[in-house]
Structure 1
Amino acid sequence: MQIVKSLERADLKLSFVNADATQARTLRDLQPGQVRLTARLDGHDEAVALAPQDAAEAREIGVALANLAGTVGAKNLHVAANGYAAALAGAASAAHWKDTRFRGVAFTAAETPQLHLEGLGDAEQARVQAVLAGMTFTRELVSAPANHLSPATLAREARTLERCGLDVDVLDTEEVKARGMNLLAAVAAGSKDGPRLIRVTLPARGECQKVVALVGKGITFDTGGYSLKTAQGMYGMKNDMGGAATVLGTMRALADLRELVPEGVEIRAYVAAAENMVGPDAMRPGDIYRAANGKTVEVTNTDAEGRLVLADALAVACDEGATELVDVATLTGAKITALGSDMAAVFSNDRDLVTRLQRAADAAGESIWELPLHQPYLRAYQKNTIADLKNSDGNPAGGSIKAALFLSQFVTRPWAHLDIAGNAAKEDVATGWGVGTLTEYVLNR
């Protein structure tokens, strides 16, 4: 859905009424966030909603409007003025997204509905469109099947961000090994494609004083390795690079909003990309590898691979001068059990960082919930091994917490971990979750 400054004509018009207005009383049971079709005229359709009282209600209206537009076949939408035009515009545009690239007949630009909102300022529109561009980039990456998106093709997709003025560097298999990233190399060893470390940089305006690192898990497909998943558990594992897609989409959004990034702050995205496959060179349960920061890890479960690639990427980001880090990953099924798919889990070693992330999520209309880094749980990864750490203790209880504690052993700076398992795709539809939160987090440092 394209947000436009004006329309020659609208075939669906949305107006608002106050909850206590006479018109509202005649619209029986109209609830906040709902959109109701009220008239089908020769030239256009008309719909009404209760005036939103906050951004959350406006987002609900945006989604409902997009659904109604699809039902009635509207291509030109006009929305009356309200106090939350940006939130409504973003939600409506995001809700309309569909990936038709792999259908026999693809969706064309001419079929894209146009959306005009009274009262949406130029600055607001630019910010909404930048985030939507980032979300679209993220959703297309997450939606692509594994035979179209491997670590190599993910790196090529990341290089397209150079057209937006970002710097992109890619380390291949030999360079990854030379950098000491043996955990990332081990996860990728069963795949013919090999690993990639992708670094995308938005340089600071003026002298660089802070480096914010956004680190994404980029498992383009996860069989579980020799700790093989079930058939049902393996389906959908093309989405296991949702964290990588989120940080790359955030960089796409920030490229358009670079003038709003605080002066002196450099933003870097690190993506550790690999396929977790079975093969003659694949890692085995019991193998031990040395991470980029020198710690050794015994692989007790090859299906706990995401924390391995993230560990190396976090260590490298710290070594390269990151002053603050946020990693994003579809990491644990235990997170879905704890929080479902509407909210992400956040873990952190820094109280101020958590507070800023929570504010950013609220501003973006996304939900995060802090879970504790309960240090005694780490002992389960330290005992009964000849290495410094195990990557799993085989006990699902507290699994998200223990995975976060594992990651904490590879950071030396203020750090937060966002577990977005269940958030990156819902009902097999990529969501773009997290791009809004991370964009707000960077812009409002």
Structure 2
Amino acid sequence: MPATFADPATPSIPLHVISEDGLKDWSQDQPERIANWIDSQGFTGAIGQAVTLADENGRPSVALAGYGTKATRARGRFHLAAAAAKLPQGTYRIVSGLPEEARSIEALGWLLSAYRFDRYRKQSPLRAALIAPEGVDAPRIEAQVEGEWLTRDLINTPAADMGPPELEQAARDLAQRHDATIEVITGDALLEQNFPMIHAVGRAADRAPRLIDMSWGNAGPKITLVGKGVCFDTGGLDLKPAASMGLMKKDMGGAAAVLGLAHMVMATQIKIQLRVLIPAVENSVAGNAFRPQDILTSRKGLTVEINNTDAEGRLVLADALALADEDGADHIISMATLTGAARVAVGPDLAPYYSDDETFISALENAGRDQADPVWRMPFHTPYEPMIEPGIADLDNAPAGGFAGSITAALFLRRFVSDSRYAHFDIYGWQPKDAPARAKGGAGQATRALLATLATLANQ
């Protein structure tokens, strides 16, 4: 179960958040025995340090958590979470030292640090519970945590247990919980209802491809989220080498992210008309797999030459984007673990995005900073358009040369949106190693920033 804040009436242990430059002043106000104990434990106020003081019965009576310096805090995020894992069992209440502007983020990080993926192996839970700091929006933070929990669980689950049917079930469970409507088009019905590229990519798998379509809300701007749901990507006939296939259970990270974001939106009751579209497929190898040099005709009518069957994500997204555009959405936002080029450009921690909407960009950039959810704008560089035009068809799904791979993928997707404002996120969806509040494994990216952005758009 996702972590929540402790009941404020619970007996609690006072927690002092101590920066390195504030330790001396704090210690001077304490009895000598306390100052000596803290010094003997090697506590300096560095990020990740924690120390407790015991009462006469040997139980923790006071706790300290290191908060580093301004310089060390600038090198990371969720600093309090680094200490939470080192505190003994108990319920803690922050009583001093945490700046008001940092309370929401540090409380969020504390709850996120409780995440454990224990479907296949039980793991030790976080023993330290937290009472929500004064002035924070506890229900909103808990909704963010639960949405992130959902995203992580979906990504972390191996493809044998998280194929298109299971991804559909996750969406159905979410729709039922929030009284949303959901429709799913499966298998050959995709051809009958004109989603030819979703069908082409997924038809070789034993588990049928499908388009998941969920809607919620009846007032406010129309926002459509489109998430890439490639539940496993072998590369198709252009088969990936083993080293590249190892993490391909996470190739549905875009779908996992939009489902987590959808939960956040619905749980916090943001006044928008939300639609979630997820093309859910497996890119597999079989006699009926789509082939290099095939030319596919998309829902929009644009033809696409297949120059690499491993560039399949943009194909399934394209049909879903065309449907979203037909509906007259005010904003369409796609999220996908789309290109290795994005990782080369910005690494695993930043979420690169594409948009030409200055209102959206301003709101998102502010939200990314405020929510400790970093994003980085990339260009829809129109002069690169000829790179995705092969001559024999309208579009090329894998331009030769290897230059600007994330940009050309984004330009490809933009061709399928004509009438709506569009933003595309080329996320990684994976935390390569443990970090405060971010366990190694599946990770949501840009979802908290987008939640705040959608709230801003709803109020305009």
TM-score (norm 2): 0.86
SS in 2 for 1:444: helix
- 1:13–1:77: 8 Å Cα contact kept in structure 2? yes
For 1:43, the equivalent position in structure 2 comes to 59
Residues 1:392 and 2:407 aligned together: no
Unpaired runs of 5+ residues, structure 2, are 29-34, 434-439
Give runs of aligned pairs for residues 227-242 of structure 1, distance below 5 A: 227-242=238-253
SS in 1 for 2:188: helix
In the aligned structure 2, how far is the partner of 1:390 from the partner of 1:439?
A: 33
- 2:191–2:199: 8 Å Cα contact kept in structure 1? yes
Residues 1:442 and 2:449 aligned together: no
Return 273-282 or 359-368, whichever deviates more: 359-368
For 1:375, the equivalent position in structure 2 comes to 382
Residues 1:292 and 2:299 aligned together: yes
SS in 1 for 2:228: strand
SS in 1 for 2:409: helix
For 1:183, the equivalent position in structure 2 comes to 197
Give runs of aligned pairs for residues 34-433 of structure 1, distance below 5 A: 34-37=48-51, 39=53, 42-44=58-60, 46-50=63-67, 59-69=77-87, 72=88, 74-80=89-95, 82=98, 83=100, 84-103=102-121, 105=122, 113-121=128-136, 124-161=137-174, 162-205=176-219, 210-258=221-269, 261-262=270-271, 265-383=272-390, 385-412=391-418, 413-421=420-428, 423-427=429-433, 428-433=440-445
- 1:307–1:403: 8 Å Cα contact kept in structure 2? yes
CA 1:52–1:116: 2 relative to 1, 3 Å: farther
TM superposition shift of 1:16: 2.7
SS in 1 for 2:113: helix
Residues 211-262 of structure 1: CA deviation (Å, up to 9, x unaligned): 111111111001111111111110010001111011111111122111xx23
- 1:183–1:289: 8 Å Cα contact kept in structure 2? yes
CA 1:256–1:190: 2 relative to 1, 3 Å: same
Residues 71-96 of structure 1: CA deviation (Å, up to 9, x unaligned): x4x24333225413221111111122
RMSD after superposition: 2.6
SS in 2 for 1:168: strand
Residues 95-146 of structure 1: CA deviation (Å, up to 9, x unaligned): 220110112x4778xx77532134144xx00100111111111111111100
SS in 2 for 1:68: coil
In the aligned structure 1, how far is the partner of 2:49 from the partner of 2:343?
A: 31
Return 23-32 or 353-362, whichever deviates more: 23-32
- 1:212–1:268: 8 Å Cα contact kept in structure 2? yes
Equivalent residues, number: 426
TM-score (norm 1): 0.89
In the aligned structure 2, how far is the partner of 1:373 from the partner of 1:289?
A: 24
For 2:26, the equivalent position in structure 1 comes to 23
- The one-letter code sitting in structure 2 at the alignment partner of 1:248 is L
Residues 365-411 of structure 1: CA deviation (Å, up to 9, x unaligned): 1111111111222212213x411111012322211111111111011
Fraction of identical pairs, as percent: 30
TM superposition shift of 1:14: 2.3
TM superposition shift of 1:287: 0.8
Greater gyration radius: 2
CA 1:203–1:8: 2 relative to 1, 3 Å: closer
Return 401-410 or 425-434, whichever deviates more: 425-434
Unpaired runs of 5+ residues, structure 1, are none
In the aligned structure 1, how far is the partner of 2:177 from the partner of 2:54?
A: 45
TM superposition shift of 1:5: 3.0
- 2:229–2:255: 8 Å Cα contact kept in structure 1? yes
CA 1:120–1:185: 2 relative to 1, 3 Å: same
In the aligned structure 2, how far is the partner of 1:440 from the partner of 1:307?
A: 27
In the aligned structure 1, how far is the partner of 2:260 from the partner of 2:6?
A: 22
In the aligned structure 2, how far is the partner of 1:29 from the partner of 1:400?
A: 45
For 1:14, the equivalent position in structure 2 comes to 15
In the aligned structure 1, how far is the partner of 2:282 from the partner of 2:90?
A: 41
In the aligned structure 2, how far is the partner of 1:376 from the partner of 1:233?
A: 31
CA 1:17–1:236: 2 relative to 1, 3 Å: closer
SS in 2 for 1:80: strand
TM superposition shift of 1:29: 8.5
In the aligned structure 1, how far is the partner of 2:211 from the partner of 2:384?
A: 30
CA 1:51–1:189: 2 relative to 1, 3 Å: same
- The one-letter code sitting in structure 2 at the alignment partner of 1:298 is E
